[in-house]
Structure 1
């Protein structure tokens, strides 16, 4: 899973408080088809909030709770959503995208 196309780390602008500790970054792994169940591909590609709140906990480490997802900074949700959409693109499409 160390392949950069299968795993992405998102550094959070606003850390998540879990008990007495803070989650400062979340690692997302490329979802298998089963992780997409209960959502629509178009909703995922549109970065629909409900779709992302369903998928992200299934592919995140640490696993985020529904409450943590609901309290995410919108900028952090957007950053994670972009990575989820990127996972769904074909390698040939990714190769044509500009890099930062």
Structure 2
């Protein structure tokens, strides 16, 4: 197991989303930069408040998703993406402790 926080995470969507006539089945989320987080309430993001998650996902996904496309995502997929985003904010020491606790 690694104790390094990942720079990207791929999320397979349970329900594909369509944008510009393209059907998207997988999203790659990258760890946000300080600029990506501008204008986002970090406390609300950590609580996975939908507005903050939607705002951030439209900045860090590949393929790039418009905010209205993110809003059309299935709720299960939005939560999966929100969980992935939360993982970007775990320090390597915290990740190592979690992995050690899991055996």
Q: State how far apart, in whole Å, the 2-side matches of 1:66 and 1:41 are.
A: 18
Q: What RMSD over aligned residues (CA atoms) do the two structures have, in Å? A: 1.6
Q: Any idea what SS the aligned residue of 1:36 has? A: coil
Number of the residue aligned with 1:60? 61
Number of the residue aligned with 2:85? 84
Unaligned stretches of 5+ in structure 2? none
Which residues of 2 match residues 1-100 of structure 1 at below 5 A? 5-98=6-99
Residue deviations 1:13-40 (CA, integer Å, cap 9, x gap): 0001234431000000000111111111
Q: Any idea what SS the aligned residue of 1:63 has? A: coil
Q: Any idea what SS the aligned residue of 1:14 has? A: strand
Sort the Cα spacing of 1:42 and 1:26 in 2 relative to 1 into closer, same or farther, 3 A. same
How far has the Cα of 1:4 moved from its partner? 7.0
Q: State how far apart, in whole Å, the 2-side matches of 1:34 and 1:19 are.
A: 26
Q: Any idea what SS the aligned residue of 2:36 has? A: helix
Q: State how far apart, in whole Å, the 1-side matches of 2:62 and 2:90 are.
A: 21
Q: State how far apart, in whole Å, the 2-side matches of 1:62 and 1:95 are.
A: 30
How many residues matched?
97
Bigger relative contact order, structure 1 or 2, given CA contacts below 8 A and separation 6+? 2
TM-score, structure 2 normalization: 0.86
